[in-house]
Structure 1
């Protein structure tokens, strides 16, 4: 793919959002995005066609330090949400604002702050833990690999929760690919895209799909209909498409090479910090962190971010793969 779009050619959609880190679309046209409140808490927001936000804020039952991050939609209209608050856990947010635990313990231990929750086509729940370290910034080192993945057989089966992959370098988004054969995972501090073959009630060993090109600090990703994987990179505000052959193509970027080079040097020598991660927040794309495809033809790209108040959007020449929640 030789498609490239410049930052001045994208549009911005939505307004009044805070930390719109994760976004998802449905066939009915709804656009949903995570939303954190300034005083703590938050939930998700549905955006009208004109960008007007309609929030569902976690109320009764939510932990005091609830901080929504990556999430999935459930068939009943609820949301399965990762909380980055120190109390951790994965939570279920209902349309009336009621919040109940999805998973708080695994193997007898409290679930740490959660990065992402993925509900796959088979109804299984995959939960990514970036690190066991609190604060999480202590894991922003390329040699720290204490991230892991939890699998639940169904939304209402916390008793089936077990760790199915570990030793990951800051686990970020995890998703089952359209074939249903592989679980893909972005490892942020290891700067690689990995995958695991689904085997029975667990996973095979980790396989490296790609080590990302210099300047990519991977966060969220999505599959396209042609077998590619689109990765959103914080810091460099890049969208990189990984082709089926492992090639990497930069579709969009918004960064200053004079800032990216020394940040990458600090990543290599172990001096990388959150200040480096947040370099992208100073640019117009505001640290893009996730990507999804929407619109009737699944060719409208929407990117969430860590520091924006709306979504980055543009048209793609290739459609996204149909996500598990498309018909919800």
Structure 2
């Protein structure tokens, strides 16, 4: 959400790019290219407190299913500010959600096919080298995430149907688990085979949580957790003992 209560939307579909949704529900093209790179597989767009926008592009492969193999790491991140749009990070193993942490010092990103969450130190209008925050286990493919008020990160893992909290020291804690060991092993084997495609990913839709892909904190005390599920037709919710960090748009 933007301060004027319009929205920027990442289009992961065939057209790609970032679009602006105005208050009358009209869509306008916003950004489709940066430094000669097309934003075709555009996964996520986030507006930060200083007005900077970060955009994740999962892969240069098109369609994106061609990149769904362990050996592919060609995703990148675009920064948009007063100087324009430019690439600030590259070589990411399927760039998924990317967000600035509550301290404003780090840009975190989920590398779905790398099965890790990484971060970059924000240095002026650029980024420092990539650091690994936490590596996930077999079948745990990180998709969306949200920060909490104690320095933790809550990550939704597709296929495994798990929510894992990574604390400030990088240790993982299982918060929600709707996984099935046999199904996870099957999906992991398909992914590791390197044949590409979505078959391994879509196995998670067979569980009751229908492939958890995003997590958000809400409610007056920011202790209500909401889950977005790829194949679901409802939004599961539960109460957390830890409040979420205040989202950027909380005071818009």
Same fold (TM over 0.5): yes
- CA-to-partner distance for each residue in 1:124-180, whole Å, 9 max, x for gaps? 000000001111001101110110000001xxx5x6100000000000000000000
Q: Secondary structure at the match of 1:263?
A: helix
Q: Is the 8 A contact 1:302 1:314 kept in 2?
A: yes
Distance in 2 (CA, whole Å) between partners of 1:272 and 1:326 is 39
Residue of 227, 230, 240 corresponding to 1:303: 227
Report the Cα offset of residue 87 of structure 1. Answer: 2.0
The reply to whether residue 130 of structure 1 matches residue 54 of structure 2 is: no
Residue of 116, 121, 124 corresponding to 2:44: 116
Residue of 258, 282, 294 corresponding to 2:206: 282
- CA-to-partner distance for each residue in 1:26-64, whole Å, 9 max, x for gaps? xxxxxxxxxxxxxxxxxxxxxxxxxxxxxxxxxxxxxxx
Stretch moving more, 160-169 or 79-88:
79-88
Root-mean-square deviation over aligned CA pairs: 1.2
Choose between structure 1 and 2: higher strand proportion.
Answer: 2
Aligned pair count? 252
Unmatched tracts of structure 1, length 5 or more? 1-72
For normalisation by structure 1, the TM-score amounts to 0.75
Q: Is the 8 A contact 2:159 2:187 kept in 1?
A: no
Report the Cα offset of residue 202 of structure 1. Answer: 0.6
Residue of 173, 190, 196 corresponding to 2:97: 173
Residue of 228, 241, 251 corresponding to 1:317: 241
Mapping for residues 54-203 of structure 1, pairs under 5 Å: 73-153=1-81, 160-203=84-127
Distance in 2 (CA, whole Å) between partners of 1:258 and 1:146 is 30
Aligned to 1:26: none
Q: Is the 8 A contact 2:186 2:200 kept in 1?
A: no
Report the Cα offset of residue 271 of structure 1. Answer: 4.1
Aligned to 1:69: none
Distance in 1 (CA, whole Å) between partners of 2:38 and 2:135 is 32
The reply to whether residue 264 of structure 1 matches residue 188 of structure 2 is: yes
Structure with the bigger RCO (C-alpha within 8 Å, sep 6+) is 1
Distance in 2 (CA, whole Å) between partners of 1:272 and 1:222 is 28
Distance in 2 (CA, whole Å) between partners of 1:164 and 1:304 is 28
Report the Cα offset of residue 105 of structure 1. Answer: 1.6
Aligned to 2:143: 219
Aligned to 2:134: 210
Residue of 213, 217, 220 corresponding to 1:293: 217
Q: Is the 8 A contact 1:289 1:303 kept in 2?
A: yes
Report the Cα offset of residue 215 of structure 1. Answer: 2.3
Report the Cα offset of residue 265 of structure 1. Answer: 2.7
Q: Secondary structure at the match of 2:204?
A: helix
Q: Secondary structure at the match of 1:122?
A: coil
Distance in 1 (CA, whole Å) between partners of 2:37 and 2:113 is 24
